[in-house]
């Protein structure tokens, strides 16, 4: 899609390429820094429309996230223009600064978790994510880069079977603690003020939906651990996260289950 030709007032040079995501979407920043555009090919236009719908639903619900500026579809794909969330991605912080930003990051994620599930029209339940994993594995589309080192050489069908064995117990747990989840709360999706080290909001909400809160917490913890060089830092952050959520005894087996499932759902 020609971004400058597809959007109103977008003369050449006003939009600067930022990155091409793993999904194939292209991201642009408006030169004034106040808006971003995400452009998807035709094959992914429906998924980008899902992100648009989730942002529209979140608007006015007390969650700091982008607001929709414009939406366009052409025969070449679709483009979603959103307001920018100030700050830098948490992945760019040092381990020490990430530890300082961590409590406010937890509060921003919890703001999503506190939304009423009966008002959320988007489903990211364990059963739906498992079916997605079944589809990805059946197409031999698992991205080995998303797998932990110990699993990279194991057949995808074996990894799926391991998840399936635990499914009944995890479905029971989900029923007791279902919340509205972000769906992909990794460090690049938390924006942080580099001076105050306070989280300013969350981005990339295309996977938002009702799910077990542990699905979010597992990804947040695992991704952040890569930024801490000492066990003390990692242990402090782990304790602070669950204390802020008033979870007295974190279920590490449950966290591990969702870390086994998530890599099988991308593809």
Instruction: Say what the pLDDT of residue 228 is.
Output: 82
Query: For residue range 225-253, what is the model confidence (pLDDT) as tens digits?
Result: 888 878 888 888 899 899 988 899 999 99
Which of 208, 183, 234 is closest to 52 using CA atoms? 208
Looking at residue 123, the DSSP 8-state letter turns out to be B
Q: What are phi and psi of 47, to 5 degrees?
A: -70, -40
Query: For residue range 105-144, what is the model confidence (pLDDT) as tens digits?
Result: 999 999 999 999 999 999 999 999 999 999 999 999 999 9
pLDDT at 2 over 90: no
Distance in angstroms (rounded) separating the CA atoms of residues 72 and 157: 39
Q: What average pLDDT does range 176-193 have in this prediction?
A: 96
Q: Which residues are catalytic?
A: 184
| Contact in structure between 110 and 245 (CB atoms under 8 Å) | yes
Instruction: Say what the pLDDT of residue 50 is.
Output: 97
Report the predicted TM-score, pTM, of the whole model to 2 decimal places: 0.92
Q: How far apart are the first and last CA of the chain?
A: 22
- The domains located in the chain, with CATH, are 3-83 (3.30.200.20), 88-265 (3.90.1200.10)
Beta bridge partners of 46: none
Q: Torsion angle, CA of 62/192/222/163, rounded to 10 degrees?
A: 40
Structure tokens at 261: 């499932």
| Least confident range of 14-23, 40-49, 164-173 | 14-23
| Mean pLDDT computed over every residue of the chain | 92
């Amino acid at each position: 899609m020609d971004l400058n030709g597809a959007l109103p007032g977008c003369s050449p040079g006003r939009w600067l390429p930022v990155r091409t995501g793993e999904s194939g979407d292209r991201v642009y920043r408006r030169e004034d820094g106040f808006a971003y555009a995400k452009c998807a090919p035709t094959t992914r236009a429906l998924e980008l429309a899902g992100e648009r719908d989730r942002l529209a639903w979140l608007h006015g619900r007390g969650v700091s996230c982008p607001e929709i500026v414009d939406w366009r579809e052409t025969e070449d794909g679709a483009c979603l223009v959103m307001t920018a969330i100030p700050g830098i991605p948490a992945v760019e912080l040092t381990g020490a600064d990430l530890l300082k930003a961590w409590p406010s990051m937890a509060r921003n994620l919890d703001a999503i978790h506190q939304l009423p599930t009966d008002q959320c029209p988007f489903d990211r339940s364990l059963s739906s994510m498992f079916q997605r994993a079944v589809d990805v594995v059946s197409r031999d589309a698992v991205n080995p880069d998303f797998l932990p080192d110990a699993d990279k050489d194991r057949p995808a069908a074996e990894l799926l079977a391991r998840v399936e064995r635990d499914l009944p117990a995890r479905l029971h747990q989900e029923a007791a603690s279902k919340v509205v989840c972000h769906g992909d709360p990794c460090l690049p999706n938390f924006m942080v003020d580099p001076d105050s080290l306070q989280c300013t909001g969350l981005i990339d909400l295309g996977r938002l939906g009702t799910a077990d809160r542990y699905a979010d917490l597992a990804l947040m913890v695992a991704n952040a651990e890569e930024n801490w060089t000492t066990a003390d830092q990692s242990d402090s952050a782990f304790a602070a996260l669950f204390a802020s959520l008033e979870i007295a005894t974190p279920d590490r087996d449950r966290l591990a289950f969702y870390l086994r499932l998530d890599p099988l759902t991308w593809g």
